[in-house]
């Protein structure tokens, strides 16, 4: 009887072990093929936490992956959204007007940039009389902020709107299991853009304008910034919130990483070079050692 009990115990252990191996195999399989949703583990534990924001869903971006490139027309539309909507609260202080004509960016001409800069008033000075004065902007000027200082912004809006120059790179988070195993292979670097897109579309409680699904803690001082039709696109793209959000997010990604295309192009050519170099080294090694092998046989 005792022996049987022991045997039973061993069998249970065996069964448990089998199940565990099965689970592990399934987890690896799921990790490899991206089956399980990214939030499986992030949301597990002591039930859903109402204050914890979900992981932003993965969007498709033209600039994702090793061969990613910005879509120039999209950057131009995104800039229009920034200029007509976001700029009334947010600064973009690390971007100069001339950057809009830089290669790998929205691709405005120098003439367009000059005309655009001239529509802004820039504070300059002091002049010979010791006074500050305003003059029309020049391409070398940086985007001015609508508010005189942070205090003025806080007094008007209840919180300081962060500068948007680097926001697409500044917002990052853990994507949980199994995404963190897959992300290095697919070169996932779009945490910021996915978050900004989700945030703009995350005002899901109609009775509370400051409730946002994706803002940490769910409370945001920014009221829903976009509505269908507020920006008039000249190229016939849909005038909808998701489209505006996509475009302005792409523009903010460019602002945060203006050399993204150059970086990716260099990465691909370096890997190409290393591949060819590895083949050459292998061929050279075969040739050099073939003599040693041959003489070893003759001895
Ligand atoms: C009416 C003013 C206003 C407008 C217009 C506005 N924002 Fe904001 N935004 C704010 C304020 C205020 C905050 C700070 C929110 C907080 O800390 O609770 C903010 C915060 C943000 C954040 C940071 C959220 C975080 O994770 O901390 C992002 C990103 C953002 N805004 C993007 C945009 C974009 C893109 C637009 C244009 C489509 C825009 N905002 C238009 C006022 C505005």
Give residue limits of the domains in the chain. 2-37, 72-95+142-258
Q: What is the pLDDT of residues 191-250, one digit of tens each?
A: 999 999 999 999 999 999 999 999 999 999 999 999 999 999 999 999 999 999 999 999
Q: What is the pLDDT of residues 152-181, one digit of tens each?
A: 999 999 999 999 999 999 999 999 889 999
Coil, helix or strand at residue 113 = helix
**What is the 196 CA–ligand 1 centroid distance (Å)?**
10
The CATH number for 72-95+142-258, chosen from 1.10.3720.10, 1.10.760.10, 3.40.50.150, 1.10.600.10, is: 1.10.760.10
DSSP tally for the chain: helices H, then strands E: 10, 2
Q: Across-strand partners of 269?
A: none
Atom of ligand 1 nearest to the CA of 158: 12
Q: What is the pLDDT of residue 52?
A: 82
In sequence order, what are the residues at sequence separation of 6 or more whose Cβ sits closer than 8 angstroms to the Cβ of residue 50?
218
Nearest residue CA, atom 14 of ligand 1? Answer: 161
pLDDT of 29 higher than 50: no
Helical H segments across the chain, by residue range: 2-33, 39-42, 72-84, 110-118, 150-157, 167-170, 179-186, 191-200, 241-256, 260-298
In sequence order, what are the residues at sequence separation of 6 or more whose Cβ sits closer than 8 angstroms to the Cβ of residue 96?
139, 140, 141, 142, 143
Atom of ligand 1 nearest to the CA of 215: 26
CA distance 73 to 251: 10
Atom of ligand 1 nearest to the CA of 220: 18
Main-chain dihedrals φ then ψ at residue 142, nearest 5 degrees: -95, 155
**What is the 249 CA–ligand 1 centroid distance (Å)?**
12
Q: What percent of the chain has pLDDT over 70?
A: 81
CA distance 69 to 259: 11
Ligand 1 pocket list (CB less than 6 A)? 81, 85-86, 88-90, 157, 159, 161-162, 167, 171, 196, 199-200, 220-222, 225-226, 248
Q: What is the pLDDT of residue 292?
A: 81
pTM for the predicted model, two decimal places: 0.82
């Amino acid at each position: 009887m005792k022996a049987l009990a022991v045997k039973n115990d061993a069998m249970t252990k065996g069964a448990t072990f089998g199940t565990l191996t099965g689970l592990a195999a399934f987890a690896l399989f799921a990790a490899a093929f991206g089956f399980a949703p990214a939030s499986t583990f992030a949301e597990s534990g002591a039930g859903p936490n109402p204050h914890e924001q979900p992981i932003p869903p993965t969007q498709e971006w033209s600039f994702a992956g090793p061969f990613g490139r910005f879509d120039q027309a999209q950057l131009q539309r995104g800039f229009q959204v920034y200029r007509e909507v976001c700029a009334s609260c947010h600064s973009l202080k690390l971007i100069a007007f001339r950057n809009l004509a830089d290669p790998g960016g929205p691709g405005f001409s120098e003439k367009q940039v000059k005309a655009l800069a001239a529509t802004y008033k820039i504070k300059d000075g002091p002049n010979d009389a010791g006074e500050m004065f305003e003059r029309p902007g020049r391409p070398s000027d940086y985007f001015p902020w609508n508010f005189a200082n942070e205090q003025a912004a806080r007094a008007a809006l209840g919180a300081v709107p962060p500068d948007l120059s680097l926001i697409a790179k500044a917002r990052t988070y853990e994507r949980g299991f199994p995404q963190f195993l897959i992300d290095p292979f697919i070169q996932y670097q779009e945490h910021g853009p996915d978050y900004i897109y989700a945030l703009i579309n995350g005002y899901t409680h109609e009775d509370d304008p400051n409730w946002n699904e994706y803002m940490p803690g769910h409370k945001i001082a920014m009221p829903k910034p976009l509505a269908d039709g507020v920006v008039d696109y000249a190229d016939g793209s849909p005038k909808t919130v998701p489209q505006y959000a996509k475009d302005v997010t792409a523009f903010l990604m460019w602002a945060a990483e203006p050399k993204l295309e150059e970086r990716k192009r260099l990465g691909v050519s370096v890997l190409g070079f290393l591949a060819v170099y590895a083949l050459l080294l292998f061929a050279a090694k075969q040739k050099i050692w073939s003599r040693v092998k041959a003489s070893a046989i003759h001895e």
